[in-house]
Amino acid sequence: ARAAKEALSHIRSVQSARTAPQPAAPPAFRDVQPGPPNRSIYDAAGSETLPGKLVRKEGDPESGDLPTDEAYDGLGHTHRLFADAFGRNSIDGHGLPLDATVHFGKLYDNAFWNGQQMVFGDGDGQVFERFTRSLSVIGHELTHGVTQFSAGLAYRNQAGAINESLSDVFGVLVEQYVRKQSVDQASWLIGEGLFTAQVQGKALRSLKAPGTAYDDDVLGKDPQPDSMDSYVRTSADNGGVHINSGIPNRAFYLAAAALGGNAWEAPGRIWYETLTGGSLPAAATFSVFARATAASAAELFGSGSAEHDAVRKAWETVKVKL
Ligand code: ASN
Ligand code: ZN
């Protein structure tokens, strides 16, 4: 349980009449014609040696091993959200093959992106089930790859918490897209189904209500703040990257809730454009990120649009200065 607890803590013209009419430029998100995914799932068979033995490659039938097949499907769903909703061709935008290893380590209580691939533990069975059980977690880990190949956000302090938040945002969007859930229908949870029945909790994190995902005798209470009033100053976990991510997470939820409908549409596009548009600094603070999302909303939907307004109000609510 102690190891589990430690794992948790890591865990946009006006055409002048004098100029010849031109076709409008296609929105950036449709410039790319993404190809299909190229997935490979490996089995570490309880070792910590990567990648392990290839057990299912693209186009192969189901392997019969649940984590292998969940990882294969989860990678496919994540690839599809980025392709369909944002026109992104895999993690790097250029069709990077998607590799994942399952059965990593013994009773291993985590999942991670190691800079090159995804890795999933089986969980200890006491606190955590296998980590492939949650599509939002698979989407989360893969989004770390997208961030690495785009904004390259540092993994410490506020930039790190934004990095974590972006993984949570696109993680929940993968799940919402697959389940065709609107803002009101979605759980807004990361890691539903990961805790065993013995744990008092529904998930690792809640974007809708940070700080309420679990409250357990052994794990304690979900430590996430939901506004800058309770920002956690800590050197642990790279400056609280998994804790303070609650603040930008709630900002995304609030913007999506104000707009209604499907969160992978306007809100997702605004956040995606912010992440990949090329102007977000790797050392962004919450305020820099907040201004960047507002600028993306104004660029995509117009200054003073409902979208622009919803984004600005969301950051105000979580008390991040624009
Ligand atoms: N599951 C964690 C994450 O992706 C693993 C870690 O902290 N390296 O954020
Ligand atoms: Zn993460």
Q: Are residues 113 and 166 located together in one domain of the fold?
A: no
Q: Are residues 99 and 215 located together in one domain of the fold?
A: no
| 248 CA distance to ligand 2 middle (Å) | 14
Q: Are residues 108 and 164 located together in one domain of the fold?
A: no
Q: Are residues 302 and 178 located together in one domain of the fold?
A: yes
Gap between the Cα atoms of 101 and 225, Å rounded: 32
Rounded average pLDDT over 65-89:
97
Q: Given pLDDT bands bounded at 50, 70 and 90, which one contains residue 34?
A: confident
| 260 CA distance to ligand 1 middle (Å) | 30
Residue 14 lies in a domain: no
Q: Is the CB of 10 under 6 A from ligand 1?
A: yes
**Residue from 130, 208, 218 nearest 169 by CA:** 208
Q: Is the CB of 109 under 6 A from ligand 1?
A: no
98's enclosing H/E stretch is strand 98-104
Read off the pLDDT of residues 179-208 as tens digits, 9 standing for 90 and up: 999 999 999 999 999 999 999 999 999 999
Q: Are residues 170 and 310 located together in one domain of the fold?
A: yes
Whole-number pLDDT of residue 35: 84
**Residue from 264, 267, 248 nearest 256 by CA:** 267
190's enclosing H/E stretch is strand 189-190
Contact 260, 183 (CB under 8 A): yes
Q: Report the chain's mean pLDDT, rounded to a whole number.
A: 93
Residue 240 lies in a domain: yes
Gap between the Cα atoms of 69 and 61, Å rounded: 9
Least confident segment among 15-29, 147-161, 214-228? 15-29
Read off the pLDDT of residues 41-65 as tens digits, 9 standing for 90 and up: 999 999 999 999 999 999 999 999 9
Q: Are residues 164 and 106 located together in one domain of the fold?
A: no
Residue 16 lies in a domain: no
What percentage of the chain exceeds 70 in pLDDT?
90
Q: Are residues 118 and 228 located together in one domain of the fold?
A: no
User: How do beta strands 220-221 and 53-57 pair?
Assistant: unpaired
CA distances from 128 to 75, 219, 310 (A): 21, 11, 36
Q: Are residues 294 and 200 located together in one domain of the fold?
A: yes
Residue 291 lies in a domain: yes
Q: Is 141 a catalytic residue?
A: yes
pLDDT of 23 higher than 50:
no
| 311 CA distance to ligand 2 middle (Å) | 23
Ligand with the closest atom to the CA of 109:
1
- Residue whose tokens read 């999933």: 120
pLDDT of 22 higher than 90:
no
Residue nearest to atom 8 of ligand 1 (CA): 112
Relative orientation angle of helices 135-149 and 266-276, to the nearest 10 degrees:
40
Q: Given pLDDT bands bounded at 50, 70 and 90, which one contains residue 6?
A: low
Encoded tokens for 33: 């014609």
Q: Is 144 a catalytic residue?
A: no
- Residue whose tokens read 């605004």: 270
Q: Are residues 175 and 51 located together in one domain of the fold?
A: no
| 20 CA distance to ligand 1 middle (Å) | 52
User: How do beta strands 205-206 and 215-216 pair?
Assistant: unpaired
Residue 8 lies in a domain: no
Q: What is the CATH number of the domain that holds 56?
A: 3.10.170.10
Q: How many domains does the chain have?
A: 2
Q: Are residues 165 and 282 located together in one domain of the fold?
A: yes
CA distances from 90 to 57, 103, 140, 175 (A): 16, 24, 14, 17
Q: Which atom of ligand 1 is nearest to the CA of 242?
A: 9
Contact 228, 319 (CB under 8 A): yes
CA triplet 16, 21, 22: central angle to 5 degrees?
Answer: 115
Q: Are residues 284 and 251 located together in one domain of the fold?
A: yes
Read off the pLDDT of residues 234-284 as tens digits, 9 standing for 90 and up: 999 999 999 999 999 999 999 999 999 999 999 999 999 999 999 999 999
Can you tell me the ipTM of this complex? 0.94
Whole-number pLDDT of residue 20: 43
Residue 145 lies in a domain: no
Residue 204 lies in a domain: yes
- CB within 8 Å of 4: residues ≥ 6 apart: 109, 124, 126, 127, 128, 218, 219
Q: Is the CB of 165 under 6 A from ligand 1?
A: no
Q: What is the CATH number of the domain that holds 161?
A: 1.10.390.10
Residue nearest to atom 7 of ligand 1 (CA): 10
Q: Which domain holds residue 227?
A: 157-317
- Residue whose tokens read 């570490």: 44
Whole-number pLDDT of residue 32: 52
Rounded average pLDDT over 123-151:
98
Q: Given pLDDT bands bounded at 50, 70 and 90, which one contains residue 8?
A: low
pLDDT of 38 higher than 90:
yes
Rounded average pLDDT over 146-154:
98
Residue nearest to atom 4 of ligand 1 (CA): 112
Contact 251, 318 (CB under 8 A): yes
Residue 140 lies in a domain: no
**Rounded to two decimals, what is the model's pTM?**
0.92
Residues pairing with 174 in the sheet: none
Q: Given pLDDT bands bounded at 50, 70 and 90, which one contains residue 315?
A: very high
Q: Which atom of ligand 1 is nearest to the CA of 237?
A: 7
Contact 249, 189 (CB under 8 A): no
Query: Of 117, 133, 149, which residue is a domain's last?
Result: 133
Q: Are residues 161 and 127 located together in one domain of the fold?
A: no
